Amino acid sequence: MGKVKKGEVCSVQGCANPAIRSLSPQYSGAMKKAGFKLSESKRLFLCEEHYKAFKKAHTAEERLERWRQSG
Ligand SMILES: [Zn+2]
């Protein structure tokens, strides 16, 4: 999780909002699984809206994962 330079935009397709967060590309799989369409890029940038939405989806996924493993 890093700081984002000015001028970077969200990596979600069709979204042109300024990015507030950058994520490591390892999250692109999780993002696609959560239903986000991403522009192909080495870095992942998310705007505030998509960052919140992803965090929510990702947290739910992890909770499910933990539940499955404990079962
Ligand atoms: Zn966005």
pTM for this prediction: 0.77
Burial 3-33 (b: 16+ CB within 10 A, else e): ebeeebebbbeebeeebbbbbeeebbeebee
Asked if 11 and 32 touch (Cβ cutoff 8 Å), the reply is no
Distance from the alpha carbon of residue 52 to the mean position of ligand 1, in angstroms: 10
What type of residue sits at position 62?
E
Distance from the alpha carbon of residue 29 to the mean position of ligand 1, in angstroms: 17
Mean pLDDT of 28-34: 87
Reported as a pLDDT band with limits 50, 70 and 90, residue 24 is confident
Distance from the alpha carbon of residue 12 to the mean position of ligand 1, in angstroms: 5
Q: Which residue has the higher pLDDT, 32 or 4?
A: 32
- Runs of H (alpha helix) within 9-47: 28-33
At residue 21, the pLDDT reads 93
Identify the CA nearest to 38 among candidates 56, 23, 52.
23
Asked if 52 and 17 touch (Cβ cutoff 8 Å), the reply is no
Distance from the alpha carbon of residue 64 to the mean position of ligand 1, in angstroms: 25
Domain-by-domain residue ranges, the chain? 19-70
